[in-house]
């Protein structure tokens, strides 16, 4: 049985989040959360929260049959979200565009091997 968690509009670029997502891909949920707790990156806390949410969704969906020990991460995807475009003044009357990127995070967990 599969369950998923989706977090949208995270104010971090997808490139930074994918580095951390690649660390926990295809790992057991407990192992992934333990690994993320020791990772000193902002993305680690966000991804850890999403994994815990997906595990809780799986437990709720199964009616208490699925335990966290049996769950593993099936897929974890970081996609680009909306880009907020801002302008930074430069010399001689020019301007440069600054892109504030956002991300969408999808985590799918399963108890099947």
**CATH assignment of the domain containing 69:** 3.90.470.10
- Structural domain count of the chain: 1
pLDDT score, position 67:
79
In which band, very low, low, confident or very high, does the pLDDT at 113 lie, cut at 50, 70 and 90? Answer: low
Q: Residue 112's pLDDT is what?
A: 79
Domain that holds residue 77: 2-110
CB 100 within 8 A of CB 84: yes
Per-residue pLDDT at 99 exceeds 90: yes
Residue 16 DSSP one-character state: H
In this prediction, residue 48 carries a pLDDT of 95
Residue pLDDT, tens place only, 12-68: 999 999 999 999 999 999 999 999 999 999 999 999 999 999 999 998 888 877 778
d(CA 2, CA 10): 24
């Amino acid at each position: 049985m599969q369950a998923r968690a989706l977090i949208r509009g995270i104010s971090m670029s997808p490139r930074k989040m994918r580095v951390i997502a690649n660390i926990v891909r295809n790992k057991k949920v407990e192992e992934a959360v333990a690994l993320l707790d020791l990772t000193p990156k902002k993305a680690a806390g966000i991804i850890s929260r999403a994994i815990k949410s997906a595990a809780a969704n799986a437990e709720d969906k199964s009616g208490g049959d699925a335990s966290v020990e049996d769950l593993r991460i099936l897929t974890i995807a970081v996609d680009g979200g909306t880009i907020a475009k801002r302008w930074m003044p430069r010399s001689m009357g020019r301007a440069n565009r600054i892109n504030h990127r956002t991300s969408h995070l999808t985590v799918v967990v399963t108890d099947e091997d």
